[in-house]
């Protein structure tokens, strides 16, 4: 029986090896020339430990001191991030054929430039924690938000990835944000620019596109899309402004879609649930769906009763 299976397995291996010879993208066998996704995910959590130094334990230490902990974390982050950046730099035309020495020098430079951004990231995250606590009456305290809110985790990863994106590091930022997407259901492209005091409530199903610009004190709920009007142009649209601009103090309720690179949502606007917007909204406006209709048929013997909902605050703020 074992011999029979062995022959079948050898036959299947030969079949796959022949299939690999077609020179397609998926046939490339370059294991050591591609970034290590697991190492990048590990760095997310190491960076989280640096950003929240007193919240998440480093189990390598039996006796905790901040200096020892941060020193060891930074040493590990710097070594691994520099290594991963040196790998992905080859995806850029300027470094495609670069020597190892040049790649090492540039990757170390970018790594230390990124590490210097950590105080800025911490400054922004502090405001995000405040926004979540002040904006959510269900929050027990700020510790609960840091430990458990998926929206804050997605924002944290985006703020890390965005700084790497600004430094011109390819692939790694997207791997980071797509990991956060898989963990939280919140899809924020690392190219999106987000101001302070950003609050995502609930969060599942949120999509924020690459060229989105979000101001300060913005609050969005689950199912919101900040997207492009169309991506049919494919790569022709690369590096063009395709996603909306959301100015300061805007609230966007669940299910709303705001689309287009020329769409600007002015300051202090409130967008009601399920609104579909493809043009700019002036500052201070309230946008909502007009006169939604409910139909009831609770008894087959009775005709359908139709009721219009008033445009009340209760309906407007439904989440």
CATH code of 233's domain:
2.160.10.10
**Does residue 141 share a domain with residue 54?**
yes
How many C-beta atoms surround the C-beta of residue 238 within 10 A?
9
pLDDT at residue 278 in the model: 95
Domain count of the chain? 2
Q: 304 lies in a domain?
A: no
**How many Cβ atoms sit within 10 Å of the Cβ of residue 71?**
11
Q: Are 217 and 266 in contact (CB under 8 A)?
A: no
- Taking the C-alpha atoms of residue 262 and residue 58, their distance in angstroms, rounded to an integer, is 46
The answer, yes or no, to whether residue 109 has pLDDT greater than 80, is yes
Residue finishing a domain among 125, 160, 186: 186
Decide which of 156, 186, 216 is a domain's last residue. 186
The reply to whether 196 and 182 lie within a common domain is no
Same domain, 271 and 240: yes
- Same domain? For 172 and 97 the reply is yes
Question: Which two tokens mark 250?
Answer: 């805007």
Q: What value does the mean pLDDT take over residues 17-21?
A: 87
Got the DSSP string for 114-129? HHTTHHHHHHHHHHHH
Domain contains 24:
no
Asked if residue 299 has pLDDT above 70, the reply is no
Is position 238 within any domain?
Answer: yes
If asked whether residues 41 and 163 sit together in one domain, one would say: yes
Tell me if 319 sits within 8 A of 221, measured CB to CB.
Answer: yes
Same domain for 217 and 273:
yes
Name the domain boundary from 139, 154, 186. Answer: 186
- Structural domain contains residue 248: yes
Q: What is the CATH number of the domain that holds 88?
A: 1.10.3130.10
pLDDT band at 6 (very low <50, low <70, confident <90, very high): confident
pLDDT digits (tens, 9 = 90+) for 162-215: 999 999 999 999 999 999 999 999 999 999 999 999 999 999 999 999 999 999
* Domain containing residue 249: 192-290
Mean pLDDT along residues 266-287: 96
Distance from chain centroid for Cα 287: 26
Residues 176 and 125 placed together within one structural domain of the fold? yes
Shared-domain flag, residues 181 and 229: no
Same domain, 60 and 137: yes
Average pLDDT, the chain: 89
Within-domain flag for 5: no
Residue 308: which pLDDT band, with cuts at 50, 70 and 90?
low
210 and 180 part of one domain: no
Query: From CA 186, how far away is CA 48, in angstroms rounded?
Result: 18
Q: Locate tokens 């407007």: which residue?
A: 316
How would you classify the pairing of strands 187-188 and 207-208?
parallel
Which regions of the chain does DSSP assign to beta strands (E)?
Answer: 187-188, 193-194, 199-201, 207-208, 213-214, 219-221, 225-227, 245-246, 251-252, 257-259, 264-265, 270-271, 276-277, 286-287, 293-296, 305-308
Instruction: Classify residue 51: in a domain, yes or no.
Output: yes
Say if residue 71 is in the same domain as residue 98: yes
In a domain, 1, yes or no: no
Query: In which band, very low, low, confident or very high, does the pLDDT at 318 lie, cut at 50, 70 and 90?
Result: very low
What distance in Å separates the CA atoms of residue 229 and residue 242, rounded to the nearest whole number?
7
Question: Would 310 be classed as within a structural domain?
Answer: no
Is there a single domain that holds both residue 87 and residue 174? yes
């Amino acid at each position: 029986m074992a011999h029979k299976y062995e022959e079948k397995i050898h036959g299947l291996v030969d079949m796959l090896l022949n299939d690999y010879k077609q020179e397609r993208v998926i046939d490339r066998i370059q294991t050591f020339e591609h970034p290590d996704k697991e190492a990048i995910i590990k760095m997310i959590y190491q960076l989280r430990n640096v950003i929240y130094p007193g919240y998440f334990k480093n189990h390598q230490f039996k006796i905790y001191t901040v200096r020892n902990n941060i020193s060891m974390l930074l040493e590990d982050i710097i070594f691994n991030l520099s290594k991963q950046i040196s790998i992905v730099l080859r995806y850029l035309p300027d470094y495609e054929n670069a020597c190892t020495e040049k790649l090492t020098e540039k990757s170390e430079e970018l790594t230390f430039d990124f590490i210097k951004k950590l105080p800025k990231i911490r400054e922004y995250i502090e405001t995000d924690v405040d926004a979540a606590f002040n904006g959510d009456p269900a929050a027990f305290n700020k510790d609960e938000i840091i430990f458990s809110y998926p929206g804050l985790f997605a924002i944290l990863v985006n703020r890390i990835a965005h700084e790497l994106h600004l430094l011109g590091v390819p692939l790694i930022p997207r791997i980071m944000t797509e990991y956060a997407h898989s963990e939280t259901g919140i899809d924020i492209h690392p190219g999106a620019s987000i101001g302070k005091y950003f609050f995502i409530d609930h969060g599942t199903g949120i999509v924020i596109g690459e060229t989105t610009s979000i101001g300060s004190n913005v609050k969005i709920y689950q199912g919101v899309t900040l997207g492009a009007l169309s991506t049919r142009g494919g790569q022709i649209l690369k590096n063009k402004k395709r996603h909306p601009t959301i100015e300061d103090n805007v609230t966007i309720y669940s299910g709303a879609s705001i689309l287009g690179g020329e769409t600007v949502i002015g300051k202090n606007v409130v967008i009601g649930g399920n609104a579909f917007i493809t043009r700019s909204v002036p500052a201070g406006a309230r946008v909502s769906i007009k006169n939604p209709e409910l139909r009831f048929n609770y008894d087959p013997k009775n005709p359908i009763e139709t009721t219009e909902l008033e445009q009340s605050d209760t309906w407007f703020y439904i989440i």
